[in-house]
Amino acid sequence: MLLIFASAITNRLRYITDLLISKMLGVKVEITRYTDEFNKYNGPKISYSDKPLLDGLFIEAKQLLFDVNIVQQAVRITDLDDVPIFFHVDHPKAVLPFDPFAAAFFMVSRYEEYLPYQKDRYGRFPAEESLAWQGGFLEIPVVHLWAEMIGRALLRHYPGLTLKHREYRFMPTIDVDHAYAYRGRTLKRTLGGIGRDMLHGQFADIFLRFRVLTGLAADPYDNYSYILKVHEPYDHVPLYFVLFADYGADDNNVTVTSGTFHTLLRVLDQYQGVGIHPSLSSNTRSLILQTEFESLSNVIHRKVTISRQHFLSLAMPQTYRSLIQLGITDDYSMGYASNPGFRAGITIPFRFFDLASNETTPLVVHPVSVMDVTLRDYLRLSTEESLDTIIGVIKTIRSVNGDCVSLWHNESLGETGRWKGWRRVYEEMVKAAST
């Protein structure tokens, strides 16, 4: 057991020491505010305060973990052994020149997303507004590296201490924004689609639509058997996040009353792998979110427990509070649509800490590291450039024994239009991430 002394025991301190010490280093941790108890303890220990105690490691504490308010933080980024650091300290006996607990808490709690920022067109916190992007470390899992710094310092001081590192994992996930390209739509939407194709001279699409609807051709977005086949050699079962919402400008999946759609969802959920993909409109309207959640749960005959926001649209803390109220236990929205990397500086699941209430919640957040739309549409990379980027992300995650959570769409595996050639990218990604 590792004993930590602090002048005050706060929810913030409990949360981040549990994450960095217990979960990432595999060492049980206790916190005390009594100097006598700390001084008498003969095992590994850290004093986390403004000055060191008699013995043990000393990490000089910044004020962040002892505050209860959310205020603008003065952050200056430097490097320590090529690792970005901030929240610098200057006590000569401090084992590190910064406060890793405060820095990790700032990143994982998404502290900056509670402060004023310029939203993008979808109301999201943009990558460009983040400290990680501005500091050039968005693609570096800094929280892991800071935990490793603590671990190395502990081993130098307590060579008999055993650290237990978790194993790397790969978790493929699929967003189903459009279950089918042509099937499962109302007559009105079908005729509207034909009209748009005629207006733009896309006669090949009109012909394919008729072939699909008459059973002469497969729907190009009906890739579910292919997806299972790709993952079968590696014993992966992907998670599917399904947009189950009424038609809207940004939410236009197939008709929610479609029997074909319902059958598909029950097939995909045979391993309880279907989650809700809340519509963009539901992010600010809780009644819509509840309706979508209950409707999908009724179709698959069980309560939905996993979620990912459509367009990765998160608003702190409102979005996560709404999910918790519905009984969602795990969310997979923690990533940026515009850039690969580590939005929270971490690649493993962690509990959502609600800064506004200063409480650890039961919701588990699973960071997303790489997405097909990011590579193709935001960064405009070729398939080869995308593969190089993906391989780099996987290597980085492996190096810290993290979780590689990929985000793909069934439609991007249709080998049509702008997604021609992307099946190979997906297959190579799955192979690289699995072997």
**Residue 305 within any structural domain of the chain:** yes
Residue 63 lies in a domain: yes
Which of these three, 157, 190, 210, is where a domain ends?
Answer: 157
The tally of domains found in the chain comes to 2
Tens of pLDDT along the chain (435 residues) come to 999 999 999 999 999 999 999 999 999 999 999 999 999 999 999 999 999 998 899 999 999 999 999 999 989 999 999 999 999 999 999 999 999 999 999 999 999 999 999 999 999 999 999 999 999 999 999 999 999 999 999 999 999 999 998 999 999 999 999 888 767 555 455 444 555 656 656 645 655 555 665 665 678 889 999 999 999 999 999 999 999 987 665 656 678 888 889 999 999 998 889 999 999 888 878 899 999 999 999 999 999 999 999 999 999 999 999 999 999 999 999 999 999 999 999 999 999 999 999 999 999 999 999 999 999 999 999 999 999 999 999 999 999 999 999 999 999 999 888 999 999 999 999 999 998
Q: CA–CA separation, 243 vs 254, rounded Å?
A: 9
Output the domain CATH number for residue 278.
3.20.20.370
Could you tell me if 104 and 22 lie in one domain?
yes
Which residue do the tokens 């748009």 mark?
196
Indicate whether 104 and 224 sit together in one domain. Answer: no
State the CB neighbour count (10 A cutoff) for residue 140: 19
Cβ contacts of residue 101 below 8 Å, gap of 6+?
Answer: 13, 16, 17, 20, 48, 59, 61, 65
Same domain, 267 and 131: no
pTM: 0.93
Question: Distance from CA of residue 139 to its chain's centroid?
Answer: 13
Measure the CA–CA gap between 112 and 296, rounded to whole angstroms: 33
Q: Is residue 207 part of a domain?
A: no
Q: Is residue 163 part of a domain?
A: no
**Residue 32 structural domain:** 2-157
Has residue 196 been placed in a domain?
Answer: no
Residue type, 335: G
Asked whether residue 148 falls in the same domain as residue 230, the answer is no
Q: Does 65 map to a domain?
A: yes
Give the relative orientation of helices 422-434 and 224-231 as an angle to the nearest 10 degrees: 30
Q: Enter the DSSP assignment of 224.
A: H
What is the rounded CA–CA span in Å between residue 334 and residue 78? 25
Same domain? For 226 and 326 the reply is yes
Contact 390, 154 (CB under 8 A): no
Q: Are residues 237 and 152 in the same domain?
A: no
344 and 249 part of one domain: yes
Q: Are residues 147 and 176 in the same domain?
A: no
**Do 173 and 137 fall into the same domain?**
no
